[in-house]
Amino acid sequence: MPKLELLPAVDVRDGQAVRLVHGESGSETSYGSPLEAALAWQSSGAEWLHLVDLDAAFGTGDNRALIAEVAGAMDIKVELSGGIRDDASLAAALATGCRRVNLGTAALETPEWVAKVIAEHGDKIAVGLDVRGTTLRGRGWTRDGGDLYETLARLDSEGCARYVVTDIAKDGTLQGPNLALLRDVCAATDKPVVASGGVSSLADLRAISLLVPEGVEGAIVGKALYAEAFTLEEALKAVAA
Ligand SMILES: O=C(O)c1ccccc1NCC(=O)[C@H](O)[C@H](O)COP(=O)(O)O
């Protein structure tokens, strides 16, 4: 059985690595330099970095130069998220050398454009399915954007390669992942799913690992690492077993 991939998160707001609660603007706790955080995860053995430009996601500016600097400094694979909604922002994201980008709002608001870039870029494009209940949220998770399963069926039919699934109610809360949601999404698609939001313990990671046969490929871990609930080395060991 393939092992669960772990993606430590670096979310950037106003030049700082931060954690939010429920993805809400204004709920930030700051953790200093994004580059230092990313290099720390890399030297701890990460194979992936989940890098988010929160200002671009919220429409409060962007951290494009810093994001490019961080992505450029990585020897590991980078998944880039936040505010990638048109040709210019997609080109800037891909120019960082990231392995893939994560589209959110665009999949809800400009589906034709998303279908076009999926056709052009294949598995360099993932779509973030960020939900409250089964309602998708866009614009930095601030606006409703349709039904999860209708959108998933549409994206599947367009050849979307992968989904990053976040239960917003869990994100940044250390309350554990929404395993039922992950199972339901895996049952609705043959494409790999990356779990995001709420991981609080090594037991949570082991529970997500049990969903690998159902289609979960990876797990994004943010707050738990910054809060030192466990180390990345411990997490990598836990999912390798
Ligand atoms: O990814 C986005 O585009 C985004 C937009 C608006 C608010 C938050 C956003 N992402 C947050 C993350 O991807 C978190 O890093 C991730 O869900 C980790 O959550 P946790 O382990 O609960 O800290």
* Rounded Cα distance, 40 and 36, in Å: 6
Residue 221 CA: which ligand 1 atom is closest? 21
The yes-or-no answer on residue 55 being catalytic is no
Backbone angles phi, psi at 150, to 5 degrees: -65, -45
Nearest CA to ligand 1 atom 2: 82
Ligand 1, from 49, 54, 80, 199: best to mutate by most atoms within 8 Å of Cβ?
A: 54
Backbone angles phi, psi at 51, to 5 degrees: -115, 120
SS3 content of the chain, % helix, strand, coil (to 5): 40, 25, 35
Per the listing, tokens 């053995």 go with 45
Instruction: Tell me the pLDDT tens digit for each residue of 68-112.
Output: 999 999 999 999 999 999 999 999 999 999 999 999 999 999 999
Residue 11 CA: which ligand 1 atom is closest? 15
Report the separation in Å between the CA atom of 92 and the middle of ligand 1, taken as the mean of its atom positions. 20
Q: What percent of the chain has pLDDT over 90?
A: 94
Report the separation in Å between the CA atom of 222 and the middle of ligand 1, taken as the mean of its atom positions. 8
Mean pLDDT, all residues of the chain: 96
The single residue of 53, 130, 167, 204 carrying the catalytic annotation is 130
Instruction: Tell me the pLDDT tens digit for each residue of 131-185.
Output: 999 999 998 888 899 999 999 999 999 999 999 999 999 999 999 999 999 999 9
Q: Do residues 146 and 135 lie in contact, with contact meaning Cβ atoms separated by under 8 Å?
A: yes
